[in-house]
Structures are given as structure tokens and as C-alpha cells.
Amino acid sequence: MPQVMDADRMSRALTRIAHEILERNGTRGTSDLALVGIRTRGVPLARRIAHALHDINKGHPDAADVPTGALDITLYRDDLMRHAVGPQPVVRRTEIPFSIDDRRILLVDDVLYTGRTIRSALDALIDFGRPRSIQLIVLIDRGHRELPIKADYVGKNLPTSRKQSVRVRLQEIDGEDEVLLDEAAEVA
Amino acid sequence: MLNSRHLLGIADLTPDEIALILDTAGAMTEIAARPIKKVPTLRGRTVVNLFFEPSTRTRTSFEVAEKRLSADTLSIAVAQSSVSKGETLLDTVRNLEAMAPDMIVMRHSSSGAPHLLARLCRSVIINAGDGMHEHPTQALLDAFTIREHKQRLDGLKIAIVGDLLHSRVLRSNVQLLNKMGAEVWACAPPTLMPADLARFGVRPTTSIDEAVGGADVIMMLRIQHERMHGHFIPSTREYFTLFGLTPERVARAKSDVIIMHPGPMNRGVEIDSDVADGPYSVILEQVANGVAVRMAVLYLLAGQETVTD
């Protein structure tokens, strides 16, 4: 299984995304930004971007830390009740310890593929309030969209076939930072 | 993943399945704190609440859980149903099934009624209390409440005191707590003590002081007059004197004891008002947790293979 991104490139991609966020939202604009990571791997990625934003803005008089939340989209999936067989996905806790009303929300996920996860996440987020805007951050965009969804910040565009599977591994969960491209389709 | 299509009793669940239900319920609690207390998970699913016995807490708890998961619900109470016109249980349910519900939540005064339906009907059956047999969602919400406070179930001393003979809550709780490794003490007057309780790994006693001494959890059960066809206790006054939970008796338990009651409470019969409203009481938390636990059960059962014919 070939590695398509190592730890160093992952860290640089996330730092670049942090710079792009500030560029697009104004360097002093961090006060109404909030990061929301999609479980599982979007959550540590969101935390790392929050760190990167903190490091860049360090010493800036108006700098404020960007709050980070975790979103579980299981209850919003469109394929939940369509599994004829197979286990129900495990529901995990959604933790958004701040009001999303009038904030600019940065939604974070590891891989953008069909777009269905993001569709679910948008529905879930809207149930928590009315954000001023929602922007999408993904580490890997592998194409094959089934819905009209597009990322605002992309760590790496990775052309793939549907048979392949992309595996993002993170220090916090898997003990290592890397992205792998597997040939045989696997159940995610 | 649950192995059974139905939830008929704690007897059918493995410790892993119990843990899965409790963990899923943990994730569901957050929904009650949202501005919009609703997720779209069971959209388009129909759940029938069929209650052949009066119930306020359990029925409303199931209804709230169903609505929070966006299911379509209809509740049928026995008084207004055709059962009073002489229809049999099976005919009632077959007629309801002709309208293609996905799940039936049922309470019935006969032990085993939901098991009969599970064998003969297509719908997923959830037992909301059958006679003196089981009340699985009550035991699950009790376990959830204990775990929230003690972070575990194994090794805890749990005293269950009251009308044990007529209690399905006891029968479900004993099985669940046993499976999860708790030490269960059961206390009742000899007339309200079921035979061979010890066979279920329970320590029976007629002394409430012995039962609650050093307990981590005290669970009080109501005297079920409606199921008593005879004289089991001389008077409720005497019962309170010998078996009622008073502040003095609570003082014999651990200093961080929690007091539970599945409701409805009879103040001054099995529990003193000062205890029911006191600092150790988690009785209202049990009610709130009931919704999350029932959401978890509905979610886990809804995704299973549906039988089509």
C-alpha cells in the first residue's frame, strides 16, 4: 500500500491551510471563527489546525483562540436504515461547547469522497443554530462526488479510482501520521 | 450490534450488548441539551405504543424517545381499544400489523405476552413491562444512572428493597446487575420475597439494615397493591416502620450512596419524603436517562434486518 503523504507533508499541509484560513477570513478575524471536526479523524485534525492558528497569531493583540468541537454524524446518515445486514454504526457523542449562532464555522474532515458525510454534517450543524457561514476543510480530496459539495481548503488533491481506498492515519488515534492508498476496496 | 431482533428481556442480552446499549445512550444524552431536540434517524418509521396496563412514565418516555428520533408514533391505551370489546391480543396486534408498523412497544399484564408476539408477528417487539416477568428498559436506565455516578457496575453493593414478589423491575435488574458483576442484596418481608431468589445469585434478607449497610446503591420498589390478591402486609404503617427507607437507614450506607426508585413512589410507605427529595436521591435523573436509553434501544433495533415476506 503506497504512502501518498508522510508526517512532514501532513504537518505542512495543515499549516498552509491555517494560513489560508487567516487570509480568507482576515488575520484579526479569528474571534468569530470556530472549528468543528467530524468524528473520528476530523476531530484531531481540527485541534491541530487550532494549534496552527494559535502559533501564527501568537503575539497579535487581537488574537483569540479558536474554539473546537466534535460532531458525530451517525444519526444523520442517509444510508442508516438501508443496511439489509451488517452492524449498526456506533453512535458517539457530539460535543460543541459553544454557540454556533453567527459564527463562521470551519468544518473539518479527513477525506472528501462522495460528499454524503458532509451533507449529513451540514444538517447536523444547522440543528445547533444558525452559523454566519460554514467552510469546509479536508486533508484529502479524492474526487467521485455524488452531491454538489466542494471543499474550501484542501490539503492534497488525490486522483483515485472507486476501487481504491484512502486511509488517513493520525498520531492521536493510529500512532502515526500518514495517508495510504490501498488498491483493494476495504470497508471503511 | 444486538443479536436479537427484539428486546424482550435482559435474559437475552450479553454483557457486551448491555455495554453497547449504555454507551449508545451516553451519546444520546447530548441531544436533550440542543436547541432542536430532534435527529432525523428514524424518519419514515412507524412505532406503535401498545399499553394494556396504565403507564405514565414509561409510555411518555418511549414517546419522547421516538419523537426525538423522528419516528411516527401512535399510542394505543387499552381503555379505548377493541380489547374491551372482546378481541384477543393476537388479533389486535395482527390488525395493527396490517397497517405496517416497524416496531411495537408493548406493556401487558401477562408475563410472556411480548414473547408470544415476537414469535407470531413481523414487527420488532420491545417489551415495556410484561406482568411480573421483565421490564428491560427500566433495568437498562437504572444501570445507566448507576454508571453515570459510579463509573462502573462491577463490585458495587446494590440493595433492592420492597415488594420483590410482584416486581418485574426486580427481575430485570437482578439479571442485568448479575451479568455486569454487581453484588445484589434483596430485602422484603417473607410474604413478598420470591422463592429461590438465591438461585439468581442474589442475597435475600428480611433486614433492611443488613441490606443497606455499606451499600453503594439503594433501589426502592413500590408495594403493588393492584397485583395483590390477598393480605401480604398487615398495614402500610407497619411496613414503613420495618422496611421504609428513612434518613437513619440511609446513614448506614456508603457516604456517596445513591437512592433510586422506578416510580411511582408511595411517600410514607416505602420511602420517607426527606429521603425521596434528599441529596442522595437520583430519582428524577432516572426519568431523564430513560429517554436516552430508550432512544439507544430504538436506534439499535431499527437498523437490523427487516423481515419481508
| pLDDT values of chain B reduced to their tens digit, one per residue, 309 residues | 788 899 999 999 999 999 999 999 999 999 999 989 999 999 999 999 999 988 889 999 999 999 999 999 999 877 656 666 778 888 888 888 888 899 999 999 999 999 999 999 899 999 999 999 999 999 999 999 999 999 999 999 999 999 999 999 999 999 999 999 999 999 999 999 998 888 889 999 999 999 999 999 999 999 988 887 778 999 999 999 999 999 999 999 999 999 999 999 999 999 999 999 999 999 999 999 999 999 999 999 987 654 443
B74: distance to nearest CA of chain A, Å?
21
Q: Tell me the three cell numbers of residue A165.
A: 481506498
- HSE value, Cβ hemisphere, 13 Å, CA-based, for B67: 11
For residues B193 and B162, is the Cβ–Cβ distance under 8 A? no
What element of type H or E holds B305?
none
Sheet holding A133-141, edge to edge: A68-71, A33-38, A104-112, A133-141, A153-157
Q: Give the residue carrying C-alpha cell 491551510.
A: A17
| B162 Ramachandran zone, left/alpha/beta (phi>0; psi -120 to 50) | left
d(CA B296, CA B289): 11
Is the sign of the CA dihedral B51, B57, B60, B65 positive or negative?
negative
Cis upstream peptide for B56 (omega within 30°):
no
Residues 58-77 of B with CB under 8 A from A: 69
pLDDT tens-digit series, residues B48-91: 999 998 888 999 999 999 999 999 999 987 765 666 677 888 88
Tell me which residue in B27, B304, B305 faces A91 most closely, judged by beta carbons.
B27
Give CA–CA dist B70/B72, Å, rounded. 7
- Contact residues, chain A, for B304 at CB < 8 Å: 88
Which residue matches cell numbers 422484603? B188
Find the CB nearest B27 among A72, A124, A128.
Answer: A72
Task: Map out the domains of chain B with their CATH numbers.
Answer: 10-135+288-302 (3.40.50.1370), 136-286 (3.40.50.1370)
ipTM: 0.86
Place of cell 469522497: A113
Domain boundaries along the sequence of chain A: 3-79+89-182
| pLDDT reported for residue B151 | 97
Distance (Å) of CA B77 to CA B47, B54, B88, B129, B167: 14, 8, 15, 14, 22
Are A90 and B38 inside 8 Å of each other by CB?
Answer: no
Taking alpha carbons only, the member of B80, B98, B137 closest to residue B114 is B137
**Could you confirm whether domain A3-79+89-182 is CATH 3.40.50.300?**
no
**Per-residue model confidence as pLDDT tens digits over A7-57:** 999 999 999 999 999 999 986 666 899 999 999 999 999 999 999 999 998
CB < 8 Å from A in window 10-49 of B: 20, 23-24, 26-28, 30, 34-36, 38-42, 44-45
**CA atoms within 13 Å, Cβ hemisphere of A154:** 12
The predicted structure's pLDDT at residue B78: 74
A100 at B interface, C-beta within 8 A: no
Cell numbers standing for residue B96? 395493527
